[in-house]
Amino acid sequence: MNKIIKKTQLSSDVFQLRVAAPLIAEERKPGQFVILQLDNEFGERIPLTIADADQKAGSITLIFQVVGKTTRRLAALKEGENIVSILGPLGQPTHIEKVGTVVCVGGGIGVAPLHPIAQGMKQAGNRVIIIMGARTKDLIILEKEMRVIADELILCTDDGSAGRKCLVTEPLKELCQREPKPNLAVAIGPPIMMKFCAATTRPFAVPTVVSLNTIMVDGTGMCGGCRVTVGDKTRFVCVDGPEFDGHLVDFDNMMQRLSAYKDLEKDAHHKCRMEMEIKKLKATTP
Amino acid sequence: MSHPTPEELNAKAHAALAQLEPRITQLKPKDRLAIPVQEMPAQDPHVRRHNIQEVAVGYTAEQARAEALRCLQCKNAPCIAGCPVRINIPAFIQAIVDGDYQKSVDIIKEASLLPAVCGRVCPQEEQCQKPCTVGKALKDCNQSVSIGRLERFVSDWEREQGKIKIPTVKLETGKKVAIIGCGPAGITVAADVRREGHAVTIFEAFHRPGGVMLYGIPEFRLPKVIVQQEVATLEKMGVKIQTNFAVGRTRKLLDLIKKDGYDAIFVGVGAGLPKFMNIPGENLVGVFSANEYLTRANLMRAYDFERADTPIFRSNKVAVLGGGNVAMDATRMAIRLGAQEVHLVYRRTEVEMPARIEEVAHAKEEGAIFHLLQNAKRIIGDDKGRVTGMECLRYELGEPDASGRRRPVEVKGSEFIMDVDTVIVAIGNDSNPLIRQTTPGLEHNKWGNIITDDAQKTSLDAVYAGGDIVLGAATVILAMGQGRTAAAAINKLLAEKMTQPAGR
Ligand SMILES: Cc1cc2nc3c(=O)[nH]c(=O)nc-3n(C[C@H](O)[C@H](O)[C@H](O)COP(=O)(O)OP(=O)(O)OC[C@H]3O[C@@H](n4cnc5c(N)ncnc54)[C@H](O)[C@@H]3O)c2cc1C
Ligand code: SF4
Ligand code: FES
């Protein structure tokens, strides 16, 4: 049982929860994640990155976007209520060292897991350039927090409602063309964004780390459901990752695997909507 | 052949007993050998293909009595030597004949902690029933006394009576023991150590305790209420169970001693690292490890399409690779989840299959299609990365290998395509590296299994290990056996610590 201490809505469908989890707060390092569950009988287990932690308060911060049944239920929980199961911290921590200049690229909700990494990179003495992208202005999260860390921050939106009107790959390419070019890129966001970030840095041979968020069940290496192809090897994201060399990840295979249950989810979503409609009807008809 | 109903089987037992009862005190071995083996009543295969309930429904009292009367009460009792935990088999069987079921259960529990589980899932044909004198006399191991079914009968009786005894716990000693993993090994150690009055906490990574008994072995073979009952008994004894706690991640193993003050640790984390074939196409959508498939279906309850949030792949034609219990369980689960065809693909012949005979028979009855001496070479997908077929190769048996089994060799040019949309890989488990990678100094062999001495002690002080993490993927009873040995060693260690003068 983990109590929700504070709940904040960051954008229309993005929420931030501060949750009591003293042991996880004590052990966690940037880059690690938890698996949570809202109902031990029939609930599903979903991975969420730990965005931040407060050892003294014994709490961790989770940031998530409402995309399916579990995240919708999670968003409906109130302060003081409990999350039944949280397992963590899982995965390998980010390898943080002083390399020189690090470009951190965050797309949409990916800015949340990127935040502790950017922080760590800065603390290690790196020059940190942050590129943040979102579809539109309202979906930008953690801008203030990121500005505190960044030596340089580039904001982009698809519709130009804030910052530059472009995809994150555009400034990323410009940075790679600069002399000296960055020593490392870290890209976290939707798979398609990470794929194109890796494609952008590849010709410049800028090492690029990506953080993968695959389907998971146990999160301890027991099931292999989270596996991805990296180079010509199969790796388990939950124990070997979540971070991998972006130039070696087979993103197409990963995206296909992510969509394994899409049809079923649509069914469930549809059913859920129907039920809500029916409830509404029932409530309005005397 | 129509499927015999439980009523018909009971009638047979009734008839056999009617003949015997008048001269029950003077039965000769010849008479006992003449009693037919009592068949296990089971759900009709056509019905059970569509439900998740237990297949074998258990002996009736008359069947149990008839079967128990088949035992010759051998002086040398070769069956006991075949039992990994040395249950006093003739004694518990005699108690059934005497109608004293409670005594029967008590005798079993002197040696075994999980009889309702073992009576269901032990490979008896390889253990106690293999050397049984009755089987030998009738020249057929399948004709041995059905020891496992009798074990199940009395332990089910106890549970149904609601009479499960909570073992007495001695006065608190002030010592504490951490147990990692709540499978059969961990559960056994917890009970034996707690009895001596030591405080016990089990740390389990999953959200529910039970280990493979919960997430691997399906409901239709081992109802989860049985596992829950065993766990409830532990909790009544005062054992604490901390779920959602992955040792190595949530806390390092040795921090349990250093930071949290545990006096001893038992590691029973199971095997838990699925092996894949390393063939092309294995990461396509629609290829699963048996662990993933079964965990979704069992632990996450995905078989309950209506209520479970966890999805499971909807398949029409499934191929399962492997020949062990895990492969049979995956096969039978896929059938229940609605697949039209389930093909079991195994490299050797049925004789070499490591699965229990009963499981193989059940899978066939339920309509699994066996492809022996064949193996997958490559999995084929469409432009969306979804499985559309599997290329296979045929094999023939060559010379015996180191294990004495004839080695399958591929038949050149025998490739053919099997039309499937799902492939489940069930070729075994290696040991999960989580603990060993995060615990310096914990010695392991080249397969990653933790090395222990005869008392199950590892290379680290006060750290013991047992079950699949030591044995490699093995069995419930062997895990339990090692658990008992480890518990005895831990109890001894703590007793010694307590007699040492304070301050040392
Ligand atoms: C599908 C299937 C069918 C089987 N059928 C049979 C059968 O018919 N008969 C038979 O005798 N045997 C069978 N087996 C084998 C049998 O289940 C195992 O040998 C037995 O369960 C091993 O017990 P264990 O206690 O060592 O480990 P497990 O039962 O594997 O339990 C280990 C527990 O430790 C937990 N854990 C792992 N890592 C950590 C960690 N770092 N921190 C905390 N907890 C952790 C796991 O979540 C798990 O709950 C089968 C196995 C499978 C997979
Ligand atoms: S060997 Fe068979 S017949 Fe003999 S005591 Fe054991 S169970 Fe009975
Ligand atoms: S989630 Fe099961 S192995 Fe990674």
Residue B78 CA: which ligand 2 atom is closest?
Answer: 1
A27 band by pLDDT with thresholds 50, 70 and 90: very high
Asked whether the beta carbons of B407 and B401 are under 8 A apart, the reply is yes
Cα→Cα distances B379→B193, B282, B321, B341, B425, Å = 49, 6, 12, 17, 11
Ligand 3 in reach of A225 Cβ (< 6 A): yes
Is B367 in a helix, a strand, or coil?
coil
The rounded percent of chain A whose pLDDT value lies above 90 is 83
Sign of CA dihedral B297, B299, B300, B303: positive
Closest CA to A260 of B315, B335, B337, B386: B386
Domain boundaries, chain A: 2-90, 101-211
Tell me how far apart the alpha carbons of residues A87 and A62 are, in angstroms, rounded to a whole number: 13
Tell me how far apart the alpha carbons of residues A208 and A245 are, in angstroms, rounded to a whole number: 6
Cβ <8 Å between B313 and A228: no
Angle of helix B61-69 relative to helix B89-97, nearest 10 degrees, comes to 130
- What secondary structure letter does DSSP report for B452? -
How large is the average pLDDT for residues B291-313?
88
- Domain at A2-90: CATH code: 2.40.30.10
pLDDT of residue A285: 47
Residue B80 CA: which ligand 2 atom is closest?
Answer: 6
Tell me how far apart the alpha carbons of residues B203 and B191 are, in angstroms, rounded to a whole number: 14
pLDDT of residue A286: 43
Instruction: Give the model confidence (pLDDT) of A126-171 as tens digits.
Output: 999 999 999 999 999 999 999 999 999 999 999 999 999 999 999 9
Residues of A in contact with B244 (CB under 8 A): 85-87
Instruction: Give the model confidence (pLDDT) of B330-387 as tens digits.
Output: 999 999 999 999 999 999 999 889 999 889 999 999 999 999 999 999 999 999 999 9
pLDDT of residue B46: 92
Ligand lying closest to the C-alpha of residue B268: 1
Closest CA to B321 of B359, B271, B275, B367: B275
Q: Hey, how many other C-beta atoms are within 10 angstroms of the C-beta on B354?
A: 17
pLDDT of residue A271: 53
Domain boundaries, chain B: 26-37+49-160, 176-272+431-499, 275-428
Asked whether the beta carbons of A237 and A214 are under 8 A apart, the reply is yes
Instruction: Write out the two tokens for A91.
Output: 């995965």
Angle of helix B147-160 relative to helix B101-111, nearest 10 degrees, comes to 110
| pTM to 2 decimal places | 0.92
Q: Is 50 exceeded by the pLDDT of residue A186?
A: yes
Sign of CA dihedral B471, B475, B481, B483: positive
| Distance from the alpha carbon of residue B167 to the mean position of ligand 2, in angstroms | 29
Region for residue B103 given its phi and psi (left: phi exceeds 0; alpha: psi -120 to 50; beta: otherwise): alpha
pLDDT of residue A12: 85
Q: Is 60 exceeded by the pLDDT of residue B503?
A: no
Tell me how far apart the alpha carbons of residues B88 and A153 are, in angstroms, rounded to a whole number: 75
- Which residues 411-470 of B have a C-beta within 8 angstroms of A? 432-434
A278 band by pLDDT with thresholds 50, 70 and 90: low
How far from the centroid of its chain's Cα atoms is residue B248's Cα?
Answer: 26
Give burial (CB, 10 Å; 0-12/13-18/19+) of B6. Answer: middle
Separation in Å, CA of B255 to nearest CA in chain A: 11
Q: Is 60 exceeded by the pLDDT of residue A282?
A: no
What stretch of H or E contains B78? helix B78-82
Mean of pLDDT over chain B: 93
- CATH homologous superfamily of B176-272+431-499: FAD/NAD(P)-binding domain (3.50.50.60)
Q: Ligand 1 — pocket residues by CB below 6 A?
A: A 220; B 121-122, 180-186, 203-206, 211-213, 216-217, 245-248, 268-270, 272, 294, 325-326, 329, 356, 432, 434-435, 467-468, 474-477, 479
Q: Is 60 exceeded by the pLDDT of residue B1?
A: no
**Measured distance between the N- and C-terminal CA atoms of chain A, rounded to whole angstroms:** 40
pLDDT of residue B504: 45
pLDDT of residue A262: 82
Q: Count CA within 13 A, CB hemisphere, residue B306.
A: 0
Q: Which fold has domain B26-37+49-160?
A: Fumarate Reductase Iron-sulfur Protein; Chain B, domain 2 (1.10.1060)
Q: In DSSP terms, which residues pair with B425 in a beta bridge?
A: B289, B321
Ligand lying closest to the C-alpha of residue B150: 2
Tell me how far apart the alpha carbons of residues A53 and A20 are, in angstroms, rounded to a whole number: 10
Architecture of domain A101-211 in this structure: 3-Layer(aba) Sandwich (3.40)
Q: Do domains B176-272+431-499 and B275-428 have the same CATH topology?
A: yes
Ligand 3 in reach of A258 Cβ (< 6 A): no
Tell me how far apart the alpha carbons of residues B27 and B25 are, in angstroms, rounded to a whole number: 6
Instruction: Give the model confidence (pLDDT) of B220-266 as tens digits.
Output: 999 999 999 989 999 999 999 999 999 999 999 999 999 999 999 99
Pick the CATH number of B275-428 from 3.40.50.300, 2.40.50.140, 3.50.50.60, 3.30.70.980: 3.50.50.60
Instruction: Write out the two tokens for B94.
Output: 């005699």
Q: In this structure, which amino acid lies at residue A114?
A: L
